Amino acid sequence: MSSAVTGCVPCPPGNSSEEEQAHRQLFLVNERKRRRMISNRESARRSRMRKQRHLDELWSQVVLLQEENCRLTTGLARASEAGDKAALENARLKGEVLFLRGMLSDIQLNTTYSSLGDLAEVSCDDDAGRPGAIHLTTDLSD
């Protein structure tokens, strides 16, 4: 390694052991800093890659959720339209039921009045033949 890379200045010959010790200490500190800097860069690179993968996954989820939202919105619109049609058909059928009940009621009343109109008198003898007549007179000239 060159002294520019390590940040270490070569010791001139004839230095004391204290200077060599300080020089080695400085070299080790600089070497640790350099390794830590490389490690930090690698860690930051891995972190950026994880972040990018996570971001890609989130965008995939966004696309899937938008598609699902579109399907659900379409389904809701169809269901709402079907409900509106059913409500209209229900109202129409209720009206038809009222009309038919009215017609049935009129038919029943007319049948009752016409059968009563044919009768001038109704006899109510019991099974033993004892007389006990009830006379009904109807006036249907309305």
What confidence tens digit (pLDDT) does each residue in 116-138 have?
A: 555 545 455 555 655 554 444 44
Q: What is the pLDDT of residue 66?
A: 98
Can you give the pLDDT at residue 136?
45
Contacts of 97 (CB under 8 A, 6+ apart): none
Highest-confidence range of 29-38, 100-109, 124-133, by mean pLDDT? Answer: 29-38
Phi, psi of 122 (to 5 degrees): -120, 130
**61 Cβ neighbours under 8 A, 6+ residues apart:** none
Distance CA 84, CA 4 (A): 82
The rounded distance, in Å, linking the Cα atoms of 44 and 36 is 12
What are the structural domain ranges in the chain?
A: 3-117
